[in-house]
Amino acid sequence: MQITPIPCLSDNYAYLVVDDATGTAAIVDPSEDAPVRAAVDARGITPRDIWCTHHHHDHVGGNEAIAEHYGTAVLGHVSDKGRIPAQTKEVATGDTFTLGSLAVSVIHIPGHTLGAVAYVVKDEASGEQAVFTGDTMFLGGCGRLFEGTPAQMNTSFEALMALDPKTKVYCGHEYTASNLRFAKHVEPSNEAIDVAVARTTELRASGKPTVPGTLAEERATNPFVRIDSAEIRKTLGIAADASGGEALGAIRKAKDDFK
């Protein structure tokens, strides 16, 4: 399995997913046409699918042009039908399919939007697994709650964190540095965040993406996963007996206000 991040717009990532065994390919979240087609054409392949994590324009803006040019199918959540341009297939939690020899499963992860989905891709030959989280889970953070509730986002995070900890996380934006700055603010004694900051700084200084990370790294650093951290709760004044949804909502509000 080969996964290539494709920088788009100012800080978005689309992705090209290629099955090594068959050359079958898919594009994830093509926010614009030109850079995605350039990456695809450089490989000399024809993508079979476009996988949309949610309906926002900065993730689907290239759908129509790319689908028309390559004849791709366009996948999105069943509830996003009519909101995702050129959508031809509806998916939901529990759906499975293959991309060549790769096994793909879908998880509905509402919170950022109500129709957000993650695509989990496993290469059985190598044992490698990846998840495309769109704007639900970022490295070190989570998306704003435009349509869903904190409780929904917390449930979505629990579903993602139930995957193998070695799963590689490919998210929708290059927000890692600012996310980790907030993470350090709310949990200053967490040394794992220092390690993540150093890695992020090195990668960005050399012009490289911070993606992918792993779910294990998110477990160690992401405040929206670490909602039970006593230090985070103390920093933000979250009651010890507050529910996961309440804690996530308080952390999200603090992030919204963080400068």
Q: Which of 29, 49, 59, 108 is catalytic?
A: 59
Question: What are the start-end ranges of the H helices in the chain?
Answer: 33-43, 57-60, 63-70, 150-161, 176-186, 191-205, 215-221, 230-236, 244-257
What is the three-class DSSP state of 214? strand
Report the alpha-carbon distance of residue 100 to residue 77 in Å, rounded. Answer: 22
Report the alpha-carbon distance of residue 55 to residue 27 in Å, rounded. Answer: 15
Q: Which of 55, 77, 108, 173 is catalytic?
A: 173
Q: Which of 58, 69, 164, 185 is catalytic?
A: 58
Q: Which of 55, 56, 77, 108 is catalytic?
A: 56
* Catalytic status, residue 108: no
Determine contact, residues 246/150, Cβ cutoff 8 Å.
yes
* Catalytic status, residue 185: no
Structure tokens at 213: 């990370």
* Catalytic status, residue 58: yes
* Catalytic status, residue 55: no
* Catalytic status, residue 19: no
Q: Which of 29, 108, 112, 123 is catalytic?
A: 112
| 95-99 CB contacts, 8 Å cutoff, 24+ apart | 99/17, 99/19, 99/24, 99/25, 99/26, 99/48, 99/49
Q: Phi and psi for 2 in degrees, rounded to 5? A: -120, 130
Q: Which of 19, 80, 123, 135 is catalytic?
A: 135
* Catalytic status, residue 54: yes
* Catalytic status, residue 57: no
Q: Which of 19, 29, 49, 54 is catalytic?
A: 54
Determine contact, residues 154/109, Cβ cutoff 8 Å.
no
Residues serving a catalytic function are 54, 56, 58-59, 112, 135, 173
